[in-house]
Structure 1
Amino acid sequence: MGCRTSKVLPEPPGDVQLDLVKKVEPPQTDIYKHFIRGDGSGSKMRGEKTGSPSPQAQAPPDTGQPEASDPRRNKVAKYRAKFDPRVTAKYDIKALIGRGSFSRVVRVEHKSTRQPYAIKMIETRYREGREVCESELCVLRRVRHTNIIQLMEVFETAERVYMVMELATGGELFDRIIARGSFTERDATRVLQMVLDGVKYLHTLGITHRDLKPENLLYYHPGADSKIMITDFGLASTRKKR
């Protein structure tokens, strides 16, 4: 029996939800995490609730099996299953780093050399996908320039084409502009000089990119002295020889 001065603690609100799922965040050094939106494996999903779990909450028993709720692991497994065995025999699939209407880009590692690359997987069973693939391959098989993404090798199947390319780890020019807030005239001049060098080279081959924008200009590495690389030739046009 309590004394007259004792108080009854209020019941916790009924709408409080406890987050009992362990969040597995990607390494902070992974600059591609912001490319993966909406699947929980990159940046935080819009509307996602945060909070500390209750002290009374207990973690599920360790069964020794991978967690089925790990979205990043599930995402990698999902795209690895779509790859042709010839590709997975040579490359380890590491992470999804980009997506388009008919394509997906994944970061891979060569099994023998441990060299990282990017593989662009294009669905060619759709007419639009075939057109984009043909346009990009037509250009990338001809070009070799320090400011243009380099094609390494190609795997083709009845429904997909896998293009193994250089991996640019510095992110998009667009993202770097947003992160810095502004560019000095010196910075902008340096970027434009590299872009124009690449465009001049393309024009000497009769190739027009037709989709130049900050999102299609990648930094080769995260450093301030990184070169710019032109990518995404899905809308490119090649002048026909007369």
Structure 2
Amino acid sequence: MVQETIRLSDEYEVSDILGRGGFSVVRRGIKKSSSGENIHVAIKTLKRFSPSSTPSSQNRGAHKSIVSLGLFPTWKQVPVSDVLIKNEILVMRKIVENVSPHPNVINLYDVYEDQDGVHLVLELCSGGELFDRIVAQERYNEAGAAAVVRQIAQGLKALHRANIVHRDLKPENCLFLNKSQDSSLKIMDFGLSSVEEFTDPVVGLFGSIDYVSPEALSQGSVTSKSDMWSLGVILYIVLSGYPPFIAQSNRQKQQIILAGEFSFYEKTWKNISSSVKQLISSLLTVDPHRRPSAEEVFCSLPRFK
């Protein structure tokens, strides 16, 4: 799948930067065509670093890496970037083979490798992050929230059927295909995902504390039901504009997540239907076996849309 003889620059014109991560940078690209037709893509470069120069996480301040909480041992001299590169390529190959094309999962077109790292040529989603739309409108009504979460659930349903667990599901990793209000929503960023229960232990050192499940925090078995916890957090935030687990420190936040302690504050939630709150409660159940599947969430949403 990796292109060894053809360079990225032979096939694509690479332009402005769209975003950055701890181990990657995403740029806009245009596929070169003799017909003159411009095909716009996103090119994600997974950068390699030596163990001593591994960069810190570039996530927003509120979304700390779980390794920074001291919940896992730190391993010296581990080429973390290489592990994450190999993991993301493994997962994306599985997506291409078993999921794509899918309206709610990012499509991969090409892979190139050179001295700068590995370049994933992806479907361009120009509508922005779900995170930004939440910020722009503070919170969604029930119909809008149902439309958003239904799309994420549909994407998760396809991923879980292919034995892929995302492991880092959050609004920043859900992109709208375009800027229209009824745009498709795509799940992306599979650097921390697992395939068929195989995950390099280094991958487990990362994650976003606000969305991470109790079993991931306690080093338990991470399954598709861990993604459902994250979906419950997203649904809570989409409807309220704030996360369900709020604490003065990340250590305290860890404890309330492990206990599953959250509430529906009357001022925000008084006009939200009991069926929505019941769904959120079922998703934010500490016991993963009691959480609904993506398919069950997908099927339940039309009741209150």
TM-score over 0.5 (shorter chain): yes
CA deviation map 1:82-141 (0-9, x unaligned):
xx9821221111200111112110001112131100001111344211111112111211
Q: RMSD across aligned C-alpha pairs, in angstroms? A: 1.8
CA deviation map 1:144-189 (0-9, x unaligned):
1221101101001255101100000000000011111221100100
Q: Which amino acid aligns with 2:118?
A: V
- Equivalent residue in structure 1 for 2:8, among 87, 94, 97: 87
Cα distance in 1 for partners of 2:192, 2:163 equals 14
Cα distance in 2 for partners of 1:86, 1:92 equals 11
- Equivalent residue in structure 2 for 1:206, among 163, 180, 186: 163
TM-score, normalised to structure 2, is 0.49
CA deviation map 1:195-233 (0-9, x unaligned):
011111111111100100000000000000101100001
Partner in structure 1 of residue 201 of structure 2: none
- Equivalent residue in structure 1 for 2:23, among 98, 102, 106: 102
Q: How many residues align?
A: 158
Partner in structure 2 of residue 119 of structure 1: 43
Q: Which runs of 5+ in 1 are unaligned?
A: 1-83
Specify the SS of the correspondent of 2:7.
helix
Contact persistence 1:125–1:159 (CA under 8 A):
no
Partner in structure 1 of residue 117 of structure 2: 160
- Equivalent residue in structure 1 for 2:143, among 163, 178, 186: 186
Tell me which stretches of 4 or more aligned residues in structure 1 moved more than 4 Å: none
Specify the SS of the correspondent of 1:89.
helix
Cα distance in 2 for partners of 1:178, 1:147 equals 21
Q: Which amino acid aligns with 1:122?
A: L
TM-score, normalised to structure 1, is 0.62
Partner in structure 1 of residue 283 of structure 2: none
Greater RCO, 1 or 2 (C-alpha within 8 Å, sep 6+): 2
Q: Which runs of 5+ in 2 are unaligned?
A: 51-78, 199-305
Q: Report the structure, 1 or 2, having the larger helix content.
A: 2
Partner in structure 2 of residue 130 of structure 1: 82
Partner in structure 2 of residue 73 of structure 1: none
Q: Which amino acid aligns with 1:116?
A: H
